[in-house]
Amino acid sequence: ASCCSPGAWTCAILRCGGVHAMGSADWHWVNLPGGHIEECIADLCDIPRRSDWLADLDIEGAGLGRGCVVVQTNTTAAFHVSFSSVSTPSRDSDEPVLRFVVGKRRNSMTSVGLGNPYIKKEPVDFTKNPDALLTPDPEKSRTYWFLYDRAVGVAAMGTMTAPQADLCRLVCRFRDAVGFRAEACENLRYVSISSGRRPVSLRVVGVGAPPDVSIPRYRFDAVTWQALPWQGASVVFEPDEAHRQLFVRAQQLIARSPIAPFYGLVHPERICLNAYRLLDPHRRGELVEPGEDGESLDWDSCYEELHRRIEPAVLRSAPWTYWPLRFERADCTSVTLAPTGTGCAEAISEWATAVQRSSGLRNGATRRELLTLSFAFEVFPVEGENAAQVRRDLVREITAIFEKEWGVMEFRVPFLATWQTHTEYSPHASATADSTMPPQVRALAPAA
């Protein structure tokens, strides 16, 4: 099989006449006979700028260990997409190679692993999601994307032309105890496509830098593993120390699990029942009249105004606000509670109504979120049969702890919290007099 040298992009592309949807006559096809024939289609260090790619991938940022390819095909035969450190065929070589196989084992799975064939002939993970398999109808094509990003140690594949978290169908994170995986993928440079036993024909839709497929992408930097600034305000309850330690134990289970690199943890001192969510970065405008510029308000003024509104009806009654809550269910990131009886449920409903009436703002939390405490958050999608099984086992362990030891937690003394990131908050201490409130806010304030 012929393979491209650095910069020789078109050597593996067979061009066919015709006009595609964007009006260009330049189609990019790879037609391969059966017998594991491999064609190099891109050098990630030398990707030419093209105006006719259907996939909107940025070229800037592609390079060693960082690349993404999008292909479209109606083949019913398995095909391979590989990221390799050399441009020569990877089969039966000792060169580092990250390899995806779509339609493996009679189209029962799509897999990702190291080596060609895989080390010990086993993939790192695989998926049976129907979207990730070959099309069952040759009359209908499918579009797939494949990426590796050494900056975050993520290998992923998914569907459609725009890689993003909710379109991931298989994700591996090479930031675990098996350190050689990340090292082996550090210098991956070439992208190749190969056939299995039968011929395949694929259209290359785009090649470029790997997009960010993290979930909290505007609230958390997955490269530095640091929370990004995120401001807001809410009324929260905090658990007592005995119940807080249950969350610490759940976090320890996550930290010891194989899927730990997929999750970020909330600081134990900032685990809370975030019961009434008043403001977030997109809701400042709700404090002012329609047509007024809510973005012109500084956050300190917003916090002071919120405190002024809810202090008489909500904060003054905090010492005798009492919610006895029992455990209902858990997952890998949160615990959801439930009222111990109808009286408690009615008290919660009346309290939420009082907060809304005094603040003039709706609750940004859903009914379920109102009684949920988060102790972790998913940074990358847990997609893959092996990872999903680990998560199911982990949920069972976490659930067992809370079912056995939660009992009833008596939540009391809610307070106004101001958020600096999506996981860090501090109690608000009012320091500004009402007379300094922006006039457009003060005019809208509900009468106490």
Question: What pLDDT, on a 0 to 100 scale, did the predictor assign at position 177?
Answer: 53
Helix ranges, 6-50 (H): none
Q: What is the pTM of this model?
A: 0.87
User: Cα–Cα distance between 197 and 90 in angstroms, integer?
Assistant: 16
User: Cα–Cα distance between 277 and 233 in angstroms, integer?
Assistant: 6
Question: What pLDDT, on a 0 to 100 scale, did the predictor assign at position 55?
Answer: 65
Regions of the chain with pLDDT less than 50: 1-26, 432-448
Question: What pLDDT, on a 0 to 100 scale, did the predictor assign at position 23?
Answer: 30
Pair 65, 187: CB distance under 8 Å: yes
108 DSSP assignment: T
| Sheet arrangement for strand 322-330 | 408-412, 322-330, 334-339, 372-374, 273-279, 232-237, 415-419, 425-427
Q: Is 394 left (phi over 0), alpha (psi -120 to 50) or beta?
A: alpha
Residue 313 vs residues 49, 181, 354, 436: alpha-carbon distances, Å: 61, 57, 7, 22
Residue with tokens 């008489």: 312
How far is Cα of residue 95 from the mean position of the Cα atoms in its chain? 31
Tell the burial category of 144 from Cβ atoms under 10 Å away from its Cβ (0-12, 13-18, 19+): buried
The H or E element spanning position 219 is none
Residue with tokens 């996550």: 254
Question: What pLDDT, on a 0 to 100 scale, did the predictor assign at position 446?
Answer: 46
Question: What pLDDT, on a 0 to 100 scale, did the predictor assign at position 448?
Answer: 41
